[in-house]
Amino acid sequence: MRIVFMGTPRFAVLSLSRLLEEGHDVAAVVTQPDKPRGRGREVYPPPVKVLALDKGVRILQPENVNLEGPITELTALAPELIIVVAYGAILRKPLLSLPSSGCINLHASLLPRLRGVAPINWAIILGERVTGVTTMWMNEKVDAGEIIFHREVPILPEENAGELTERMAAVGSELLSETLKAVARGTAPRLPQDISLASYAPRLKKEDGVVDWSKDAVSLSNLIRGVTPWPGAQTSFKAAPLKILKAAVVSEAGEPAAPPDGGSDAAADGRSAPGEFGRGAYAGAPGRVASAARGGDARLTAPVPPGVVLGVREGAPDEAGIVVATGRGALRLVTVQPSGKRPMAAAEFARGRRLSRGDRFGS
């Protein structure tokens, strides 16, 4: 079957690679134009183009694939099937009707949920525990075509969007291979989507990553994971921008956080174990801060607003960090990145900036 493949980002690379490995006749690869990025604004090719160059596949990079010129060029290739994987543009009717066997899209969600351009990010931000990939016959509406196959992918508890994208790309390439076999046999189903179950995953903007400390700790943890690596979770400390790369929920809803195995039970009466700020009852009490000499027992004293530092934990990576009050519960910052600097452990950042209880992040 003669195929035109349309894709752009890293997510699409494994799908194209698998098509070529399985010996499919890929007549051309259509991808977005090279674009400048980074501080130096150096021009880089899309990841799909890099693979196509390496494999010697013909490459087309039109500014607008729906214009007459690109359509004429694609018509001359006489494709039987167009496969679209995160190409980055909506295909109009003249292009959709070009291949004799139709157009197939691999989408990174369990349709009809999370239609749109950022389904992986929004699945995490919304706190979903399971997402998946779907293949569908394309029509003129965005992600609304008849479903061929879908496959579930569990979202791991600490997984961010970049990590989940890598796993879903692999699962998606397998599902696409299965789909092409069904198309070749003439057995690919056409299952209508239930519009009443549809939801949307709009393109992320930089401001979507701004941390609002008045939200609950679980929602903030999901946000941080969902916007990493881009646009990144953004806050500030003493008016300087700061990215949060990794965080963990200390306590969800105001209940005391359980002491670790073998640890002190001082939390039971409102104290944390000596030197262990972030443990104890205050760890889950939104808007309250512990007051004590460094290394001493901490007791609840005064209400404080979200974003205030409750304590700094040293020790093993799974315990160390900066504990911050949120609108409900508390969040432990694990890895951060000051503007223009390398990523670092939050505890290291705290030492370097002489951060202490009562300091505040953001606004």
CATH of the domain at 303: 3.10.25.10
The DSSP code sequence of 82-122 is EEEES-SSPPPHHHHTSSTT-EEEEESSSTTTTBSS-HHHH
Nearest one of 207, 195, 232, 208 to 126, comparing CA atoms: 208
Rg, the chain, Cα only: 25
Looking at the structure, tell me whether residues 192 and 291 fall in a common domain. Answer: no
- Token pair, residue 31, equals 């991808």
pLDDT, tens only, 269-288: 332 332 233 333 333 344 33
52 lies in some domain: yes
22 lies in some domain: yes
Looking at the structure, tell me whether residues 236 and 141 fall in a common domain. Answer: no
Mean of pLDDT values over 204-212: 97
Contact 322, 350 (CB under 8 A): yes
Which of 160, 178, 197 lies at the terminal end of a domain, its last residue?
197
Q: Is the peptide bond before 112 cis (omega within 30 degrees of 0)?
A: yes
Q: Distance of CA 164 to CAs 44, 85, 134, 144, Å? A: 24, 16, 15, 23
Q: Which helix (H) or strand (E) holds 130?
A: strand 130-137
pTM of the model: 0.86
362 lies in some domain: no
144 lies in some domain: yes
Which of 162, 197, 232 lies at the terminal end of a domain, its last residue?
197
Looking at the structure, tell me whether residues 217 and 192 fall in a common domain. Answer: no
- For residue 134, report the phi and psi dihedrals to the nearest 5 degrees: -135, 140
360 lies in some domain: no
- Residue 108, Cβ neighbours under 10 Å: how many? 27
Looking at the structure, tell me whether residues 70 and 127 fall in a common domain. Answer: yes
- Residue 226, Cβ neighbours under 10 Å: how many? 25
- pLDDT tops 60 at residue 203: yes
- pLDDT tops 90 at residue 363: no
Burial class of residue 77, CB neighbours in 10 A (0-12, 13-18, 19+): middle
Burial class of residue 101, CB neighbours in 10 A (0-12, 13-18, 19+): middle
CA atoms of 204 and 208, how far apart (whole Å): 6
Residues spanned by the domain of 309: 206-352
- Residue 27, Cβ neighbours under 10 Å: how many? 17
Percent of the chain with pLDDT over 90: 80
Q: In total, how many domains does the chain have? A: 2
Total length of the chain? 363
Looking at the structure, tell me whether residues 181 and 32 fall in a common domain. Answer: yes
Looking at the structure, tell me whether residues 232 and 185 fall in a common domain. Answer: no
Whose structure tokens read 């690596």?
229
CA atoms of 142 and 46, how far apart (whole Å): 23
Cα atoms found within 13 Å of the Cα of residue 6, Cβ hemisphere only = 27
pLDDT value, residue 85: 98
| Cβ-proximal residues to 256 (8 Å cutoff; 6+ apart), any chain | 267, 268, 280, 281, 283, 284
Looking at the structure, tell me whether residues 74 and 115 fall in a common domain. Answer: yes
pLDDT value, residue 39: 74
pLDDT, tens only, 311-334: 999 988 889 999 999 999 999 999
Cα atoms found within 13 Å of the Cα of residue 7, Cβ hemisphere only = 31
Whose structure tokens read 């799908």?
15
56 lies in some domain: yes
Quote the distance between the C-alpha of residue 134 and its chain's center: 18
Looking at the structure, tell me whether residues 193 and 228 fall in a common domain. Answer: no
> Which of 23-37, 210-224, 283-297, 318-332 shows the lowest per-residue confidence on average (mean pLDDT)?
283-297
Which of 148, 173, 197 lies at the terminal end of a domain, its last residue?
197
Nearest one of 319, 222, 213 to 262, comparing CA atoms: 319
Looking at the structure, tell me whether residues 174 and 217 fall in a common domain. Answer: no
- For residue 343, report the phi and psi dihedrals to the nearest 5 degrees: -60, 145
304 lies in some domain: yes
Looking at the structure, tell me whether residues 175 and 211 fall in a common domain. Answer: no
pLDDT value, residue 153: 98
Quote the distance between the C-alpha of residue 118 and its chain's center: 8
346 lies in some domain: yes
| Cβ-proximal residues to 315 (8 Å cutoff; 6+ apart), any chain | none
CATH of the domain at 125: 3.40.50.170
Quote the distance between the C-alpha of residue 240 and its chain's center: 25
Give the chain's mean pLDDT. Answer: 87
pLDDT-based confidence at residue 37 (cuts at 50, 70, 90): confident
Looking at the structure, tell me whether residues 276 and 224 fall in a common domain. Answer: yes
Looking at the structure, tell me whether residues 139 and 240 fall in a common domain. Answer: no
